[in-house]
Structure 1
């Protein structure tokens, strides 16, 4: 055996051990919670849970009506998000409409906002008197708002669309950028009309992206908890996510776990069959010569298309924030009759206002939740990125270990198929009681961190894999020939080269965790308050100004972190081009 071969063999040993550690951690974070969730539905305490949910006397109210509502909300969200996102993507990439870059920047903002931010803004405008309490702006002005517009499926779909169309926009815009101008120009030289070019070249080329955007929006719409909870629960409009939350939070854990498994199966099946639709098809549009997407002249349609694009991004990216901001300084909810006040931001305790509750910036509970949210976001971002880097490093340096790599890759992507509420239920089932020498983690900060890391793994792993894929193996091989150990090679070569990409991914994980409610809604306790849960509780209890103010704080954190991530990405691109 040569010196190089012996060195390589020695170098692989720590990687093998690292591979075992990574697989063990992934099994503990992903596989065991799901297994514990399933086992919990079969224990003595869960006798009859499956039959009750599927065929029992309460099956209709517990499963079938919420399932139907979830599918309706998911389909509506998927279709409308795809239409809005694809339209804006075409406007930004291929049209001659003025202000395209600004429209593109605004179109990415709604996804950075919490979904309940848009739901609260909707309530501030369209809430009627069906359930009593303070009404919305329109109703207070004497405009009759029908129940179907104020509550239930329609506002849930429209609100979720305003949040998730950004997904379709990003995916479709990337696909349109790859439709080379040379292809369109060649078609024009043959005398093809615009409609024929669109139907024969552009639309087939972006079909996979459009389908992917629909599937992502559909899956998110089916599993979202915050929006149907705020706009549906007050009128008993139940989806699977709100129904399982109600079951678990009221102690009916066994049937709640069954609903969690069904929700996982529904989301996974949708994504699986959607991916099968495009598998094996070819939509190649990238040729050997790089060309920019060809601009389409809109002619007389320029003004109406421009207006439509600006109305869409204005209504989803700007208007919700303006509505929430105005509502936080109104003395009386959603009306200017009582005048304006800063009390809900900086006011001291006053028995005549909000039951003596202080302004959010003076409230120690809110400030504690703020720092708890920041701490959770940072801990999850760090944990997810470190685990993802180790997993990507193992996969990259053990190309022949197909079984180990397959296990790591599959376990890293499984959380993408698990809705947040179901994942939280799985962690309760697995870590909510003592296991051997390990105590129960329920009610602790650590169960929030572990659940957040598990939920963030798919994105973090993809980011780490992409970043490491840009580092040439020759650099690592050269260091290996000098006898450098694996930790030294990683610390001196790999880590500095991938640091920007990983920091970008960590920032986006941080944003997702700060604004997420679905993953933590079942896990948060008074001992570890979070801003997202506090917003939900305030909104449910009728403290609208406080809920809206905290939502603006969350939105500000998310937007600042998102802009920071985009800025880092732009700097990295400029350095590569230089």
Structure 2
């Protein structure tokens, strides 16, 4: 009998606690019903989060059908739309494949081998999160005009998005109990078979979740593809919005992008499967002994150094050049400081609000495998693949018609951040809860704890490190957000991203460089902490 079973047997032998009795001293609901109550507690806030994420879809429905279904269908069925679909999918799949290659390989090298300086390489592997895609695109474009187009877009987007794969995979590799792999080896399995049958099934949910975030990031990117002049859905939607007062074509293209997002989320859910990998026995997980690289040590070091050079050193070196050698325009330290403080304030507010919305959705996705939980999780991804300008216009439409006091106020901007980046926090929360043994929650319920107390005293404390990491990651991506911030920021407020874009749009690269450097520096701090925490 396992430790958990013994604990349950002893708990059921005790007299029922006072709060387990119903009116008149009668027993409360059966244990099976009591076990479902956490879902009821989480259901209301999770539904509110899903409704906020789905709000842009309501706007798209109104706009797309404004001139009738036939007109919208003509836009969707146009040959150019099919071309955009192929180009967007091709870019996303290529970046996902390269991000999986880089992220998984770096995670394995820094966590499971005797790689020299593994902790330093782990930190360097997270720092690309601090580099906005449009800054990376500008750095490569300034180095060679030949990189404009598909090649440059793949290069820039891969080098800023592979940490979305690296971080969750490294966390899972660090948490796998070495006893499971040792048991497999004792049964006669070789290293390759152990990896395929024991390690890989535990990595698959984290790798699939990271790949999904990369794909959604690529599909929603606007800055890099615009600078590199590669036509995708986001660039076409932005051009349509700017070129005409007729919003129907842009809304119809956005609907196609939403459907593509739903298909990707469904594919990720199927790849992830329903299995969990939390330990239920006694004791604590024992880390695996590092694998010896031997003659592969030099190639492994060269690989890590090459990734760090092209993803971190090169964009920083480009900015350093413009800071020292550029002469177009000037900048004011006071304005830079005010802009940096405003950026930190809105990013912190957006990250905390998004984390609070993601908590019930992530817990439901990890602990309940019913159709309702899956729908709520998938609904939370709705806004992430939409261009920021579409989400911003949807919230402007809502505020002007139904909540005018919120128009061009900070809460509306924070709400846009939550819609755009809720999947980042949900994925981190779900992964953290999956790592927490569910038997501890069962024991707490069997001892008479209410569902709310179980959530507050068991589930949240166990998942807190992962939730905090997700909040930090959300903070980083909010700092870099551009299109929604351009449209929704309160009057007179600028962030580092908007100032950087304004200066770049006028060709003042030297004047834009201080804002780009400040943005990377501020975003690098939580990225560095994420790397140290997971190293």
- Normalised by the size of structure 2, how large is the TM-score? 0.76
Cα separation, 2, equivalents of 1:18 and 1:199: 39
Q: Which residue of 2 aligns with 1:30?
A: 53
Q: Which residue of 1 aligns with 2:224?
A: 227
Q: Check whether the contact 2:444–2:454 (CA below 8 A) recurs between aligned residues.
A: no
Q: CA deviation at 1:553?
A: 1.0
**Relative contact order higher in (CA < 8 Å, ≥ 6 apart):** 2
Which range moves more in the overlay, 80-89 or 521-530? 521-530
Matched, 1:330 2:325: yes
Q: Check whether the contact 1:66–1:238 (CA below 8 A) recurs between aligned residues.
A: yes
Cα separation, 2, equivalents of 1:436 and 1:125: 47
User: Paired residue for 1:94, among 97, 108, 112?
Assistant: 112
Q: Which residue of 2 aligns with 1:271?
A: 265
Q: Which residue of 2 aligns with 1:361?
A: 333
- What are the residue-to-residue correspondences of 1:169-318 with 2, within 5 Å? 169-177=166-174, 178=176, 180=178, 183=181, 187=185, 192=190, 206=203, 209-232=206-229, 237-250=230-243, 251-277=245-271, 279=273, 290-318=285-313
Q: Which residue of 1 aligns with 2:83?
A: 65
Q: Which residue of 2 aligns with 1:350?
A: none
Q: CA deviation at 1:103?
A: 1.3
Q: CA deviation at 1:301?
A: 3.0
Cα separation, 1, equivalents of 2:120 and 2:429: 30
Matched, 1:414 2:436: no
Q: Which residue of 2 aligns with 1:165?
A: 162
User: Paired residue for 2:143, among 104, 117, 125?
Assistant: 125
Q: 1:322 to 1:283 in 2, by over 3 A?
A: same
Matched, 1:50 2:99: no
Q: 1:95 to 1:71 in 2, by over 3 A?
A: same
Cα separation, 1, equivalents of 2:449 and 2:378: 31
Q: 1:506 to 1:170 in 2, by over 3 A?
A: closer
Q: 1:64 to 1:533 in 2, by over 3 A?
A: farther
Q: Which residue of 2 aligns with 1:39?
A: 62
Q: CA deviation at 1:519?
A: 4.6
- Give a deviation string over 1:297-345, Cα, whole Å, max 9, x none: 333332233222212222212332232123212135xxxxxxxxxxxxx
Gaps of 5+ in 1: 129-146, 333-352, 574-578
- Give a deviation string over 1:425-444, Cα, whole Å, max 9, x none: 14523542666653285544
Q: CA deviation at 1:238?
A: 1.0
Q: Which residue of 2 aligns with 1:372?
A: 342
Q: Check whether the contact 1:444–1:527 (CA below 8 A) recurs between aligned residues.
A: no
SS at 1:222 equivalent: helix
Q: CA deviation at 1:203?
A: 5.8
User: Paired residue for 2:413, among 448, 468, 475?
Assistant: 448
Q: CA deviation at 1:157?
A: 0.1
Q: Check whether the contact 1:249–1:522 (CA below 8 A) recurs between aligned residues.
A: no
Cα separation, 1, equivalents of 2:274 and 2:456: 40
Q: CA deviation at 1:369?
A: 3.9
Which range moves more in the overlay, 155-164 or 197-206? 197-206
SS at 1:329 equivalent: helix
* Cα RMSD for the two superposed structures: 4.6
Q: Which residue of 1 aligns with 2:354?
A: 384
Q: Which residue of 2 aligns with 1:144?
A: none
Q: CA deviation at 1:242?
A: 1.1
Q: Which residue of 2 aligns with 1:347?
A: none
- What are the residue-to-residue correspondences of 1:392-403 with 2, within 5 Å? none
Q: Which residue of 2 aligns with 1:113?
A: 131
Cα separation, 1, equivalents of 2:82 and 2:447: 61
* Aligned residues between the structures: 502
Q: Check whether the contact 1:421–1:518 (CA below 8 A) recurs between aligned residues.
A: no
Q: CA deviation at 1:449?
A: 1.3
- Give a deviation string over 1:31-79, Cα, whole Å, max 9, x none: 33312221221124x6754134223xxx334x23322221221122112
Cα separation, 1, equivalents of 2:189 and 2:69: 70
Q: Check whether the contact 1:86–1:172 (CA below 8 A) recurs between aligned residues.
A: yes
Q: CA deviation at 1:256?
A: 1.0
Q: Check whether the contact 1:168–1:214 (CA below 8 A) recurs between aligned residues.
A: yes
User: Paired residue for 2:482, among 512, 517, 538?
Assistant: 517
Q: Check whether the contact 1:107–1:313 (CA below 8 A) recurs between aligned residues.
A: yes
